[in-house]
Amino acid sequence: MVSQSPIGKSSRSNPVTYVKAYDDIRKLFSDQQLSKIKGFEPKHFSFNVEGGRCETCKGEGYLTVEMQFLADVTLLCEECGGQRFKKEVLEVTFKDKSIYDVLDMTIEESLTFLKIKKNILARLQPLSDVGLGYIKLGQSSSTLSGGEAQRVKLASFLTKEFLSKNIFFIFDEPTTGLHFHDINKLMDAFNALVENGHTVLIVEHNMEVIRAADWVIDLDLAVEKMVEIWYLEGRPEELKNISSSYTGQYI
């Protein structure tokens, strides 16, 4: 069940950690010459553990001040200036970009910047494929909408490690709030799941999605003195010839 619940309980969770691309990005920075001189390991480029993160804000980039009678106040960390890492860690660069600069890139920007790193690209590309090219790699999961969180989860299943598995996916209204251009991208992602041997069930009201389905179960609800649920099912082109199907009429 791919729901619209947040992708992580911690504010440090983000799209790049969820699709497991951050491990390779941290290794990329630890392989740089300056890292070897300073003795930095991949863990030094993580904001989840001690070592390279700013310890004043614990890698958050901001501090939360609890107010007794008012809402909590969020302040930019003065120690790191919101960059989440220690100064010496930020001095390590790849193509003139620090780890903070990379995390501040959008998915689309990172695909161009990291195009020679095929292992990282393979994990980031699905995020673009589901229409999330505009979000940032290090964007906190708490700032993602329900639909965005759902598509991040979908992207994680488009990676190579799930190619050999057969999974039955259930999506609940995945097109909510999407522009029609992004809906087309989402449909491409669903088709990719099917082509990889998976099965996809979608609860949906969007007619473009329904029309593209291989099989439609058309539910209707009759409410008078009693509630009766009935259904029609078949291929979209079959339903359009059934006058009692409202969905068929719109198809």
> Lowest-pLDDT range, 26-40, 148-162, 212-226?
212-226
pLDDT above 90: residue 136? yes
Rounded to the nearest integer, the mean pLDDT of the chain is 87
Cβ distance 105 to 139 under 8 Å?
no
User: Average pLDDT, stretch 128-156?
Assistant: 88
Residue 185 counted as domain residue: yes
Q: From the CB of residue 40, how many other CB atoms can be counted at a distance below 10 Å?
A: 21
Residue 227 counted as domain residue: no
CA distances in angstroms from 238 to 26, 205, 229, 242, 247, listed in the order given: 52, 18, 21, 7, 11
Please give the pLDDT value at position 140. Answer: 87
Domain of 80 in residue numbering reads as: 15-214
Q: What is the number of domains present in the chain?
A: 1
Residue 6 counted as domain residue: no
Tell me the whole-structure pTM to 2 decimals.
0.80
Cβ distance 249 to 240 under 8 Å?
yes
Position 222 confidence tier, pLDDT thresholds 50, 70, 90: low
Residue 142 counted as domain residue: yes
Please give the pLDDT value at position 166. Answer: 87
Residue 49 counted as domain residue: yes
Please give the pLDDT value at position 229. Answer: 66
User: Average pLDDT, stretch 137-160?
Assistant: 86
Q: What is the pLDDT of residues 10-44, one digit of tens each?
A: 767 889 999 999 999 999 999 999 999 999 999 99
Residue 37 counted as domain residue: yes
Please give the pLDDT value at position 70. Answer: 81
